[in-house]
Amino acid sequence: MPLSLADHPGLSYGLEGEPRELQEGIEALARSHAVALFLIYALLAIPLRSYAQPPIIMAVIAFWLVGAIVGHLLMRLDFSMMSLFGVVALSGVVVNSSLVLVDSVNRRRVEGAPLLDALRAAGVARSRPIVLTSLTTFAGLTPLLLEDRLSARFLIPMAISLGFGVVFATAISLFCCPARTSSSTISTAGDNIGELDGLV
């Protein structure tokens, strides 16, 4: 193509057909994902009444992509458009673990516990339900991951992104969220705490 462009200065080219549709789909998905992240931030900031805590909770979102990629490598499948759909859907799922941890720390801080003690107690109290929630989510996706019928194979990349992303992000959140929380100022006002126990 570079030689053709050099020989014919007026020549131009572009993606058409399926490659063009794929590119347009990725661009639209990126815009939608940005809007989704903003909505997630707003929904976290409202009950917590804090601008600083939502980024602590949302920090784990950066790690789901690693889990999705590792999952595709383990399953020996290419990353596809359906994989990206699973990644976008995962953004609203992986924040649950960090949200529950931060809420638990907030409650203990309101009760007067020092920050490190609150972090330690929240980790002990919430780690088991958080891990069990992630494992049951992965277990629920396992039948789809093992499906070999042609009619269901196009859904497998999305299930891989969801399943492996949840497990990996949860493992990271149990370490990342307390570490980031310990370096941030946590509100101690009782009315700043959302009623979030129902998440776990």
For the stretch 117-174, pLDDT in tens is 888 888 888 888 888 888 998 999 888 888 877 777 888 888 898 889 888 888 888 8
- Closest by CA to 48, choosing from 179, 185, 166, is 185
Six-digit token string for 7: 């020989």
Instruction: Cite the DSSP H helix spans in the chain.
Output: 2-7, 17-48, 53-58, 61-75, 81-91, 95-110, 115-145, 156-182
Looking at residue 118, its pLDDT comes to 84
Band (pLDDT 50/70/90 cuts) for residue 197 is: very low
Give the Cα separation of 1 and 7 in Å (integer).
Answer: 10
- The DSSP call for residue 154 is G
Dist CA 92 CA 195 (whole Å) = 18
91 close to 33: Cβ distance less than 8 angstroms: yes
> What angle (nearest 5°) sits at the alpha carbon of residue 64, between those of residues 60 and 69?
155
Q: How far apart are the first and last CA of the chain?
A: 56
Q: For residue 16, what pLDDT is reported? A: 60
Distance separating alpha carbons of residues 37 and 30, to the nearest angstrom: 11
Q: Domains (ranges, CATH) in the chain?
A: 15-199 (1.20.1640.10)
Q: Identify the pLDDT of residue 17.
A: 59
Instruction: Determine the Cα–Cα distance for residues 170 and 140; give it in Å rounded to an integer.
Output: 16
Residue 189: closest CA among 24, 53, 58, 94: 53
Tokens of 116: 């490190």
The residue among 108 and 92 whose pLDDT is bigger is: 108
pTM of the full predicted structure?
0.71
Provide the mean pLDDT of the chain.
Answer: 77
Q: Dmax of the chain from CA atoms? A: 76
Give pLDDT tens digits for 63-91: 778 888 888 898 888 888 888 888 888 88
